[in-house]
C-alpha cells in the first residue's frame, strides 16, 4: 500500500510518547510557570511503551503527531522526535494563541484529517480527548503508561481548563 493510501495513526506527544513528570512541578506553582514547563520539554525522557506503539503503527499507517504544545516549540519537538528514534510523521501543534480545551482542539484536527483519509486510531493519554474522539466515532488507544491526567489534576487542568497543552 502506498504512503498516500495508508490510514492515519494519530499520536499525542506529552505523557504519551514523552515523560512529562520531571517538569509538571512548574504548573503546580502560582502563577504557573508555562515558559519553564515548555522550555524543559526538549529534555523529556522517552516513554518506551509510546515509542513501541509508534514504531508498530508506522509499519502500516501514516503517522501524525497531534500535540497541544504551542507552535513555538516546533523546532525542539521535531528534534526530540528525531533524536529519540520516532518514526517520521506530520506534526500538528496548537497555535501559540489557541486556548481551546485540548479535547476540542484535537477533535477539530481529527475531523480535518478524516476528510483526507481514514483515521485508523488516536493514541492519547487524556481521558477527555479519548472520550470525545470515541463519541465522534474514532478508534482510540488510551495511553495509560505515562503521567495520568486523570490522577494528575495539574496536567488535567492545563489540558482542559486552560487550553495550554
Measuring CA to CA, how many Å separate 145 from each of 62, 87, 152? 23, 19, 13
pLDDT along the chain (165 residues), means of 10: 82 96 90 91 97 98 96 97 98 91 94 97 96 98 75 51 53
**Sign (positive/negative) of CA torsion 106, 109, 58, 24?**
negative
Strand ranges (E), 71-130:
90-94, 119-124
Q: What is the pTM of this model?
A: 0.87
Nine-digit cell string for 158: 492545563
- Which residues is 70 bridged to in the sheet? 94
Amino acid at each position: 500500500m502506498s504512503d498516500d493510501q495508508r490510514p492515519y495513526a494519530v499520536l499525542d506527544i506529552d505523557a504519551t510518547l514523552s515523560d512529562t513528570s520531571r517538569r509538571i512541578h512548574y504548573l503546580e506553582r502560582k502563577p504557573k510557570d508555562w515558559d519553564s514547563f515548555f522550555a524543559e520539554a526538549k529534555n523529556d525522557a522517552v516513554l518506551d511503551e509510546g515509542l513501541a506503539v509508534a514504531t508498530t503503527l508506522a509499519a502500516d499507517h501514516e503517522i501524525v503527531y497531534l500535540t497541544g504544545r504551542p507552535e513555538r516549540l516546533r523546532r525542539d519537538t521535531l528534534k526530540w522526535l528525531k533524536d529519540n528514534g520516532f518514526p517520521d510523521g506530520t506534526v500538528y501543534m496548537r497555535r501559540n494563541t489557541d486556548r481551546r480545551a485540548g479535547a476540542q482542539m484535537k477533535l477539530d484536527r481529527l475531523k480535518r484529517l478524516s476528510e483526507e483519509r481514514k483515521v485508523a486510531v488516536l493514541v492519547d493519554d487524556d481521558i477527555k480527548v479519548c472520550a470525545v474522539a470515541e463519541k465522534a466515532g474514532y478508534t482510540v488507544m488510551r495511553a495509560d503508561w505515562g503521567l495520568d491526567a486523570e490522577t494528575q489534576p495539574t496536567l488535567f487542568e492545563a489540558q482542559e481548563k486552560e487550553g495550554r497543552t
